[in-house]
Amino acid sequence: TVAALNQIGNHELLNLSPSVLQRYQALHDRKVAELGPASAIYDLDYPTPDGKAVKVLMLCYDVTRHDQGHLQKMTFLTETHGMQIERKFIEEFANGTRVLTLYVTDWTE
């Protein structure tokens, strides 16, 4: 079943902006619906201080079934394509869900 983030998230997560919470909820809902890992890519509305565009890569999965080095794989993928990782976040939820979030620049299509 789909859980609301306010039921499975921690206090810090619930203090994030509504748009970020909406991204987390949508990704979590897709993971539940697809019964497997779900991913998403978003354009950030503001550039870095030096003017570079930022994309947000998110991966949501069930730790008990799919924890196979996803952070290392995502980091390797971005670095081999010349992207710079500006920030990384790992969020864990009470229901065994983990969300990896990478903020990257130098994105090439």
pLDDT (tens digit, 9 = 90+) per residue, 4-22?
A: 655 566 556 666 678 877 8
Rounded CA-CA distance 24/58 in Å is 9
Q: What is the mean pLDDT of the chain?
A: 79
pLDDT digits (tens, 9 = 90+) for 59-82: 888 887 766 677 778 778 787 888
pLDDT of residue 1: 45
% of the chain beyond a pLDDT of 70: 80
Nearest to 107 by CA among 47, 21, 67: 47
- Tokens standing for residue 34: 């697809």
- pTM > 0.85: no
- Cα 79 from chain centroid? 17
How far is Cα 39 from Cα 11, in angstroms, rounded to an integer?
24
